[in-house]
Amino acid sequence: MKVLVTGGVGYIGSHTCCELLNNGYDVVVVDNLSNSQRNVVKKIEKITGKKVIFYKGDVCDKNFLIKVFNEHKIDAVIHFAGYKAVGESVKKPLMYYHNNLISTISLLEIMSDFGCKKLVFSSSATVYGNPKKLPITEDFPLHTTNPYGTTKLMIESILKDLYVSDNEWSIAILRYFNPIGAHSSGLIGENPNGIPNNLMPYIVKVANKELKELSIFGSDYNTKDGTGVRDYIHVIDLAKGHIKAIQKVINDNGIDAYNLGTGKGYSVLEIVNTFEKVNNVKIPYKIVDRRAGDIDACYASTVKAKEMLNWSAEFEIEDMCRDAYNYVLKNKIK
Ligand code: WQD
């Protein structure tokens, strides 16, 4: 079975490629390297001992996709490629709508032309907006508050309309909660360019003395200690969820959405304290104002993913904190 992975040398894509190869799939990666490094291909090959076929190119470019599909019989696609920074999407909405929507529509058109109608799509819990109650189940109302999240919601609608038009499609929509951590080898992990927007990469840079202190955005939320609560999930657990999803789209037809979370919520202060304990480091921090658009709390119901994909997360928050820092220590990222 040959799987095309768009954005396959990115953070979640690279970990998923390792799991695909470990499960006997052949992997073809397309990536424009706008938010990833080419040397990750070699690291995936080192981790798995398997070859990766890599094409540098843009998923918006249909001629590029035609070349790939002409050279390989693709059985299924996992589509990660897309811009994903919430703050940047507010400043540059057209860039986000163009890139995330056009790349997806181009991909779907070429897949259809080549008779490949099995897709796993990388969506996000951000499509739930500010949930009225918790845990979040997949039938909750969908509502977005930023252009990035809206591209994900729009693509989910496109996929649902596509399935109505052609029942031969088999589509799994995966709504990620907060992916953190890294492969235990320390060879691949999360290495955002510049000042990280997300909590864990920021904490890691503070631990590595690249940044002075963590700013905790608000301590007056309606949560256990006043700081924001999120459902953090180890990136390896997330990658394994994609294996279950690709098996499902290969074996069935239809379209459905699944939460990929742990079902547990941790506050910012709990993450900081766990990180310090597990890694024996100090994370200086200060409490500052809330960040615009942040919600109090968010964590997943994991029932549907367990029942329909036979998948559930296994790593604990301590594993996530340890592996996230191990990646930086092993790569002495500066
Ligand atoms: C987590 C918590 C912050 C940074 C985002 C996207 C979402 C998904 C995951 C793509 C919050 C607090 C953070 C910091 C802080 N990405 N925080 N100081 O906002 O839950 O989700 O990433 O799909 O779409 O919205 O993740 O890591 O930014 O924030 O206090 O420097 O940490 O307020 O409570 P978020 P995050």
Maximum pairwise Cα distance, the chain: 56
Q: Is 219 in the pocket of ligand 1 (CB under 6 A)?
A: no
CA distances from 138 to 33, 164, 169, 258, 263 (A): 32, 19, 20, 6, 13
> Is residue 221 a part of any domain in this protein?
no
Counting the structural domains of the chain, the total is 1
- Residue bearing the CA closest to ligand 1, atom 31: 199
* 42 inside domain: yes
The helices-and-strands tally (H runs, E runs) of the chain is: 12, 13
Q: How far is the CA of 319 from the centre of ligand 1 (A)?
A: 19
What is the rounded CA–CA span in Å between residue 116 and residue 110? Answer: 8
In this predicted structure, what is the pLDDT of residue 112? 98
Report the distance separating Cα 140 and Cα 247, nearest Å: 26
- Is residue 123 lining ligand 1, measured as CB closer than 6 Å? no
Q: Is residue 291 part of a domain?
A: no
- CB 270 less than 6 A from any atom of ligand 1: no
- CA of 74 from ligand 1 middle (Å) equals 35
- Beta bridge pairs of residue 6: 30, 79
Label residue 314 exposed, middle or buried (CB < 10 Å: 0-12, 13-18, 19+): exposed
What is the atom index within ligand 1 of the atom nearest the CA of 200? 27
- Ligand 1: residue whose CA is nearest its atom 23: 124
Question: Quick check: CB of 216 below 6 Å from ligand 1?
Answer: yes
In the DSSP assignment, the letter for residue 101 is I
Whether 330 is covered by a domain: the verdict is no
Does the pTM exceed 0.95? yes
Outline where 72-181 has alpha helix (H).
86-91, 93-97, 103-113, 147-165
**Dihedral, 241, 243, 247, 248 alpha carbons, nearest 10:** 20
Please indicate, yes or no, if residue 218 is contained in any of the structural domains: no
Q: 163-166, long-range: CB within 8 Å, 24+ apart, which pairs?
A: 163/254, 163/255, 166/112, 166/117
CA distances from 253 to 117, 256, 282 (A): 9, 10, 50
For the record, the structure tokens of 148 come out as: 């990035």
Q: Is 230 in the pocket of ligand 1 (CB under 6 A)?
A: yes
The span from the CA of 61 to the CA of 114, in Å, is 16
d(CA 16, CA 8): 8
Domain housing 61 = 2-181+232-262
Instruction: Give a yes or no: residue 124 inside a domain.
Output: yes
Distance CA 160, CA 169 (A): 10
Which ligand 1 atom is nearest residue 228's CA?
A: 34
Query: Closest residue (by CA) to atom 9 of ligand 1?
Result: 178
Q: Going residue by residue through the chain (334 aa), what tens digit of pLDDT does each one get?
A: 999 999 999 999 999 999 999 999 999 999 999 988 999 999 999 999 999 999 999 999 999 999 999 999 999 999 999 999 999 999 999 999 999 999 999 999 999 999 999 999 999 999 999 999 999 999 999 999 999 999 999 999 999 999 999 999 999 999 999 999 999 999 999 977 779 999 999 999 999 999 999 999 999 999 999 999 999 999 999 999 999 999 999 999 999 999 999 999 999 999 999 999 999 999 999 999 999 989 999 999 999 999 999 999 999 999 999 999 999 999 875 5
Which tokens is 233 given? Answer: 């999930």
Q: Which residues are catalytic?
A: 148
Contact 175, 123 (CB under 8 A): yes
Residue 298 lies in a domain: no
Domain of 71, CATH number, reads 3.40.50.720
Q: Is residue 197 one of the residues assigned to a domain? A: no
CB of 59 sitting under 6 A from ligand 1: no
Ligand 1 centroid distance, CA of 202 (Å): 10
| Parallel, antiparallel or unpaired: strands 266-267 and 254-260 | unpaired
How many CA atoms does the CB half-sphere of 146 hold within 13 Å? Answer: 21
How far does the centroid of ligand 1 lie from the alpha carbon of residue 184, in Å? 23
